[in-house]
């Protein structure tokens, strides 16, 4: 089907409506934004209910992000503590165990050879 068939209608059968003007789209967006977040004048000179509600959600979001950052810092601290404990284990306890086992094994071998 060609574009110029059937009185200049498009192949999908739409009517020849024009898109809204850019100024109308911007004005509509501003109105929706102001009603959602309380940016418009409330008429009483105070803060609108929408603005108070938005502030409440902002505070909740900030507290959640703060708690997540604390959790990440605690996780990093525990990881470093784990690394430190492992290094101390390898440095002192493991070396002592290896030296004791080696000494015991060497003593057993020498006593077996001398008999």
- Look at residue 9 and tell me if it is in a domain: no
* pTM (2 d.p.): 0.31
Say whether pLDDT at 44 is over 80. Answer: no
Tokens at 70, concatenated: 């604390």
The DSSP annotation for 15-63 comes to: --PPPPPHHHHHHHHHHHHHHHHT-S--SSSS--HHHHHHHHHHHHHHH
How much is the pLDDT for 75? 86
Question: Treating both helix axes as pointing N-terminal to C-terminal, what angle do 49-88 and 22-37 enclose, rounded to 10 degrees?
Answer: 70
Q: Tell me if 8 is assigned to some domain.
A: no
Within a domain: residue 11? no
Is residue 3 included in any domain, yes or no? no
Residue 79 covered by a domain: yes
Look at the chain and report how many structural domains it folds into: 1
Instruction: Supply the range of the domain harboring residue 94.
Output: 22-114
CB neighbours of residue 95 within 10 Å: 11
Kindly state whether residue 29 falls inside one of the protein's structural domains. yes
Q: What is the pLDDT of residues 47-97, one digit of tens each?
A: 666 666 678 888 889 999 888 888 888 888 989 999 998 888 878 777 777
């Amino acid at each position: 089907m060609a574009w110029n068939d059937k009185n200049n209608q498009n192949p999908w059968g739409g009517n020849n409506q024009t898109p809204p003007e850019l100024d109308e789209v911007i004005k509509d967006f501003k109105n929706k934004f102001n009603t959602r977040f309380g940016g418009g004048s409330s008429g009483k000179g105070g803060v609108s209910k929408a603005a108070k509600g938005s502030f409440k959600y902002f505070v909740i979001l900030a507290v959640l992000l703060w708690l997540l950052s604390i959790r990440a810092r605690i996780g990093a601290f525990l990881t470093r503590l784990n690394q430190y404990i492992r290094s101390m284990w390898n440095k002192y306890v493991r070396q002592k165990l290896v030296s004791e086992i080696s000494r015991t094994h060497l003593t057993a071998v020498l006593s077996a050879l001398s008999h």
